[in-house]
Amino acid sequence: HSRRPRLGWSLLALGFMAQLLGAASSSGFIAQCGIPVSILGVGLILGRPGLATLLLTFGLVPVPVFVFAIGSPGIESRIADATSGLFALLGWPIAAGGPLLQFEGRRFELFTSDAGLLTAICFAELAWFRGMREGLHLGEICVRGLRAGLLGFAAQPLLIALCVVTLPLGFPEVGRFLLSHGVPIALAAVVIAGEARGDRT
């Protein structure tokens, strides 16, 4: 444990330099990476909170845009084709053209971020948080997070289908909002409700 404060000071300095470098180079991603690194450093210096809690702060760093750009526009176009085929089987002839789904003049645009990475991250973070609250060892928390992330990927096609249903129903803007923001909002509500129940017991 005597090495933790020294490592903490090094991480704090590294995080601070990353934020300065990000500001100087106009790179929000680098600057944002510096925030959890600094928090981790401070935590190691103080000796609290636990490492699992400190690592959870890396969820503050958004997925960089260039990660999504790697697969664009192919990924969202393939998702649109698959979704169009599914709804054709259900009797709704939704046309797919690239990332756009169209039905009777209404449009629903798919983005590369709809491939499931963000959903997987949200599921993994929720599992990590719950494991941390249950006092599990770090290794067990990592396994839980990995499993939850894979579950998030597996659930993404169903989530897309449920949101695209709003296109033939006539309110695609609602579906697009839910596909973009529904998962983090819903999981945040689950956490808040769980914490509120815990305070009452």
Each residue's pLDDT tens digit, 34-56:
889 999 999 988 888 888 888 88
Which residues on neighbouring strands pair with residue 106, listed in sequence order? 103
Each residue's pLDDT tens digit, 80-125:
999 999 999 988 899 999 999 999 999 999 999 999 999 999 999 9
Each residue's pLDDT tens digit, 139-175:
999 999 999 999 999 999 999 999 999 999 999 999 9
pLDDT value, residue 199: 58
pLDDT value, residue 117: 92
Reference 20, options 38, 8, 5; nearest CA is 38
For the entire predicted model, the pTM comes to: 0.83
d(CA 38, CA 42) in angstroms, rounded, equals 6
Using 50, 70 and 90 to split pLDDT, how confident is the model at 72?
Answer: confident
Using 50, 70 and 90 to split pLDDT, how confident is the model at 7?
Answer: confident
Helices (H) and strands (E) in the chain, counts: 9, 3
Using 50, 70 and 90 to split pLDDT, how confident is the model at 31?
Answer: confident
pLDDT value, residue 193: 87
Cβ–Cβ under 8 Å, residues 90 and 36: no
